[in-house]
Amino acid sequence: MTQLALVIDLNVCVGCHACVTSCKEWNTSGWAGPLTDYNPYESSPRGTFFNRVQTFEVGTFPNAETIHFPKSCLHCEEPPCVPVCPTGASYKRPDNGVVLVDYEKCIGCKYCSWACPYGARELDEQQKVMKKCTLCIDRISDETLPERDRKPACVLACPTNARLFGDIHDPDSEVSVAIRERGGYQLMPEWGTKPANHYLPRRRTQFHIRPDELTRVDNPWRKEDITPYTGEETIDDMAWVGS
């Protein structure tokens, strides 16, 4: 059985929010949209997002690290949001494991959002139905697109390639290899929801500094304080030529 998922590499996520904006752009105008925004240019803007990047500071200054943490629906293998839905609007696709909401059936009772420990579901204020990441289901299952474009918008937009997409049940897929070889883990494993999305941990990086690099060495080509400048044409002057 296929279980599509995202694998997010925290080691390279720089918190640029490109995944957030591309997700919003693609989905607000597509099958799952609109993802309404209220007061976008005022003091308390609010709106519906499928994907948010949160920022945590780990450790205490000066030994602190900033972790940018993108989070969307994790497409759990045991999704707690599905059995609680009274109308059957919340369902897990049997063919690829994507958890979806049927907006025509949703009554907006919010029970699924209570049952999700990750806060991945958001009630759309305008449509009054529950919305969540669809893994860009309209895009990944569109056979008319070229193979390389059949990926979620966030994955295609990520400039640092921090997001991988694939089938975690296929042991040879890019995501399975990444999980296996780089210690991919799940969020809140204590609840037994078995999230399909995994995270790759940050890796310890060694930064070697040689002692002689700690003291400033003057530019051997240009002694700053004693340059004998006598009015002849220099490279600095060349830059102004023609202006």
Structural element, H or E, at residue 221:
none
For the chain, give the number of residues: 243
Give the interface segment with other proteins, choosing from 28-36, 79-87, 135-143, 228-236 (CB under 8 A): 79-87
Give the interface segment with other proteins, choosing from 93-101, 154-162, 168-176, 197-205 (CB under 8 A): 197-205
Contact between 199 and 162 (Cβ < 8 Å): no
161 binds other proteins (CB under 8 A): no
Nearer to other proteins, 29 or 66 (CB): 66
Structural element, H or E, at residue 156:
helix 153-157
16 binds other proteins (CB under 8 A): no
**What are the φ and ψ backbone dihedral angles of 44, each rounded to 5 degrees?**
-125, 80
Beta partners for 163?
8
* Position among 93, 105, 182, 194 found at the interface with other proteins (CB under 8 A): 105
Minimum CB separation of residue 177 from other proteins in Å reads 19
Nearer to other proteins, 125 or 174 (CB): 125
107 binds other proteins (CB under 8 A): yes
34 binds other proteins (CB under 8 A): no
110 binds other proteins (CB under 8 A): yes
111-to-16, 44, 82, 83, 117 alpha-carbon distances in Å: 32, 26, 10, 10, 12
14 binds other proteins (CB under 8 A): no
**What are the φ and ψ backbone dihedral angles of 92, each rounded to 5 degrees?**
-115, 125
